[in-house]
Structure 1
């Protein structure tokens, strides 16, 4: 609820990590909050129009890949979160990049349904750019296809996790985007 998020925002700001208010919903360990990374898996349950969903927040940091595998092995579907800023995206999809590794692990562990959340669309260098979104979709489609996924069955959803844009409701900042929100993409998962 809003009060909880405000509490997390205040606590995060006191630690100099004001932008982590949403991450703290799932990052419960003091060390996770201090370092700004997910270390252990966390569960969060909510209901959509179609499903009861349990989010398994798994670490993305390479030092905690074992925990990521534990979380992913329990999943019916994956939300691959990709950072859109120049440099961050490229590092993730490089030959030894974390984004590439996570997609491969998910497929290897039997997760056949994927949503790609293209995050940080609000970042200055991206500035809600359709061209950047299209570039990321093209590059990501190419590498997930090589792994075994069908990119035509993947929802590529541009979002701002920080501002909440296109997560629950369509964003006026993404007027060019005609696809689904992240919540709608979750509801589009098949059982």
Structure 2
């Protein structure tokens, strides 16, 4: 959920332009919006002020490097170039990276974004980086690059996930094997054990070891990937959880 005190609620009319750029005279009942958050208070009357009050999210540069691969290219005269977006941490030339779950270690020779060399790539940057002594056949979409010397990523033999069934015909039981899309990975994962049903809003347990779940249910499930898969806890690395 969200904290209503930290959200600006602004009545507007896009059709007539009321309360968009300047306060409207047609809603005397509206005294203005106010948000309270740990960074401080903000207040105003119209939409443009509410947009200006949004705080840009901090880039998680202090976390260990995680870069899910979107693709891998072989470029003549350069070599193997994996491509992806930096999700956490910093990628620099000279970094010794490891690709999980294959556990391939190599050095980054150069980093580029939009055909320009970078001294460092930060979260949000879509980059290509040239690696030493690794063939294009050894890497694939869904692998995750990390710093081999700072909490490197690893493959998971199994993991526990919160699953919400939005729409599914019939019941889902242990053994069900859907395809999971997590970051850039696309891998079939088996429901090894449905541990408990939980309330979708509070997260509290409502039933232990249910035989099945159906549309509208939320559950905590132990999943086993059919091929090696790199996942992380949502608390530590949200884009990989």
**What TM-score, normalized by structure 1, do the two folds share?**
0.27
Q: Which has the larger strand fraction?
A: 2
